Amino acid sequence: MLSGRREWLTGWGRTAPTPATVTTVGSVEDVCAVLRSGAPRGVLARGLARSYGDAAQNAGGAVLDTTALDRVLDVDLATGSVEVEAGVSLDRLMTLFVPLGLFVPVTAGTRYVTVGGAIAADIHGKNHHQAGSFSRHVQWLDLLTADGQVRRIGPDRDPELFWATAGGMGLTGVVLRARVQMKPIETSRLLVDTDRTPDLDALMDLLTTTDHLYDYSVAWIDCVARGARMGRSVLTRGRFARRDELPAEHRDDPLRYSGSVRLSAPDVFPPKLLNLATVAAFNELWYRKAPKRKRGQVQSIPTFFHPLDGVGGWNHVYGPRGFVQYQFVVPFGQEDAMRTAMQRISSSGTASFLAVLKRFGDGDPGLLSFPQPGWTLALDIPVVEGLAGLLDELDELVVAAGGRIYLAKDSRVRPDLFERMYPQLDRFRAVRARIDPDGVFTSDLARRLSL
Amino acid sequence: MIDALGSVGTLLLVGGTSDIAVATARRYLRERPLRVVLAARDTPRRAAVADELRTAGATVEVVDFDADDPGSPRRMVEQATAGGDVDVAVVAFGQLGDQERLRGDADAVAGLARVNYVAPVVVGTLLAQRMRQQGHGVIVALSSVAGERARASNFVYGSTKAGMDAFYSGLADSLAGTGVCVLVVRPGFVRSKMTEGLPDAPLSTTPEAVAEAIVEGVRKGRHTVWVPGAMRGVMSALRHVPRPVFRRLPI
In CATH, what number is assigned to the domain containing residue A325?
Answer: 3.30.70.2520
* Contacts with A382 from chain B: Cβ below 8 Å: none
Over the stretch B215-230, which tens digit does the pLDDT of each residue have? 999 999 999 999 999 8
Residue A359 resides in a domain:
yes
pLDDT band for position B203 (50/70/90)?
confident
Residue B100 and residue B107 in contact, taking contact as beta carbons nearer than 8 Å: no
Restricting to A residues 45-64, those with a Cβ less than 8 Å away from any Cβ of B are 53-54, 59-61
pLDDT band for position B198 (50/70/90)?
confident
Tell me if B5 and A322 make a contact (CB, 8 A cut-off).
no
Our CA-based measurement puts residue A46 at a distance from the nearest CA of chain B, in whole angstroms, of 18
First to last CA, chain B: 42
Number of domains comprising chain A: 1
Q: Say if A416 is an interface residue toward chain B (CB within 8 Å).
A: yes
* Average pLDDT of chain B, as a whole number: 95
The residue in chain A having the minimum alpha-carbon distance to the alpha carbon of residue B59 is: A416
The residue in chain A having the minimum alpha-carbon distance to the alpha carbon of residue B9 is: A448
What confidence score (pLDDT) does residue A15 get?
94
Tell me if A19 and B31 make a contact (CB, 8 A cut-off).
no
Tell me if A388 and B31 make a contact (CB, 8 A cut-off).
yes
Residue A204 resides in a domain:
yes
A61: nearest Cα among A4, A116, A14 = A4
* Contacts with A41 from chain B: Cβ below 8 Å: 133-135
What confidence score (pLDDT) does residue A266 get?
64
What confidence score (pLDDT) does residue A263 get?
63
Q: At what angle do helices B155-174 and B106-113 cross, to 10 degrees?
A: 30
Q: At residue A136, what is the residue type?
A: R
- Cα-flanking dihedrals φ and ψ of residue A436, to 5°? -140, 65
* Contacts with A388 from chain B: Cβ below 8 Å: 5-7, 31-32
Across the interface, which of A18, A416, A450 has its CB nearest the CB of B135? A18
* DSSP label at residue A321: T
Query: Which candidate in B1, B85, B178 is best for mutational testing of the A interface (most A CBs within 10 A)?
Result: B1
What confidence score (pLDDT) does residue A3 get?
84
Give A264's contacts (C-beta < 8 A, 6+ positions apart). A311, A312, A313
CATH fold of the domain at B10-248: Rossmann fold (3.40.50)
Per DSSP, what are the bridge partners of residue A150? A144
Per DSSP, what are the bridge partners of residue B10? B35
Q: Say if B31 is an interface residue toward chain A (CB within 8 Å).
A: yes
Map out the domains of chain B as residue ranges: 10-248
Over the stretch B59-106, which tens digit does the pLDDT of each residue have? 999 999 999 999 999 999 999 999 999 999 999 999 999 888 999 999
Residue A112 resides in a domain:
no
Residue numbers in chain A where pLDDT is lower than 50: none
Scanning A262-375, the segments in alpha helix (DSSP H) are 276-289, 301-305, 335-347
Cis ω for the linkage preceding B70 (within 30 of 0): no
3-state class percentages of chain A: helix first, strand second, coil last, to nearest 5:
30, 25, 40
C-alpha span between A298 and A250 (Å, rounded): 10
pTM of the model: 0.94
- CB atoms inside a 10 Å sphere around CB B125: 15
Is B157 part of the annotated catalytic residue set? yes
Tell me if B4 and A54 make a contact (CB, 8 A cut-off).
yes
- Out of A409-418, B37-46, B170-179, B194-203, least confident range: B194-203
Which contiguous run of DSSP H or E holds residue B137? strand B137-142
ipTM for the assembly? 0.91
Count Cβ neighbours within 10 Å for each residue of B29-45 and write b for 16 or more, e otherwise: bebbebbbbbbbbeeee
What confidence score (pLDDT) does residue A261 get?
62
Residue A411 and residue B3 in contact, taking contact as beta carbons nearer than 8 Å: yes
Across the interface, which of A18, A383, A389 has its CB nearest the CB of B179? A18
Query: Which candidate in B2, B3, B88, B130 is best for mutational testing of the A interface (most A CBs within 10 A)?
Result: B3
C-alpha span between A357 and A204 (Å, rounded): 9
Q: Name the CA radius of gyration of chain A, rounded.
A: 21
Q: Which domain holds residue A280?
A: 189-412
